[in-house]
Structure 1
Amino acid sequence: MPHHLMNLRHVPDDEADDIRALFDEHEVRYYETPPSRWGISMGGFWVNDDEEARRARALLDAYQQQRFETQRQAYEQGLARGDIGGVGSMFRRYPLRTLAACLAIVVIIGISLLPFIRLG
């Protein structure tokens, strides 16, 4: 019976490539189904037998923990440099774009709430 190891929807290409290389390096017999363009099927990495699924899951868990740590470290370094932040940092870096986006949000909210405001 097939075992689904990982959903590939919204997975960055570099992460999927790393997992393929990891499975190839450890000779995991897996197959891959791509996610659909419209989000109907999830796609993913699959294996056929139980033992292979346990081994692949252990490799995948170790990889994901290591990736989490490196991505967290990169995020914290970006915060320290000022490259990453909230609305305030976006407004400082791109004032016109951020102001236009905020204005568009207000207009959309206003249009969405207009029928309810007219009821009262």
Structure 2
Amino acid sequence: MKRPPKLSILRSLLFTYCIENYDDPDRECFIVSKDINDEKELSELFDGLTKPEYLSYKPEERQWYVDTLSRFLDTDEDFESVFYLFDTYFNDEIFDKRQFMKVLLECLKCYNLEITE
């Protein structure tokens, strides 16, 4: 059964970057070393930290994230609600949350392709 897109699930995918996540100095240093407003560095961050967790999800869970991001990027959603009261290790403010999510979606799609190859 296909799950309906749900914006709130994105917080769980991004929990790796939340300061409420367990203390891991190496992970924290890696996060703050990246410019999250630069697509290349953001992709590197996702490749290093999001990819391993994402690949451990069941196929239907992975598809739910892709469907959710695709659905809300096809609207005028600004993704403010995803980051509202969500404190991260990011060194900078995310200037364009839609672009952030577009990069995330492209990375997730690439990870899915890697699994099928």
Structure with the higher strand share, 1 or 2: 1
TM-score by length of 2: 0.26
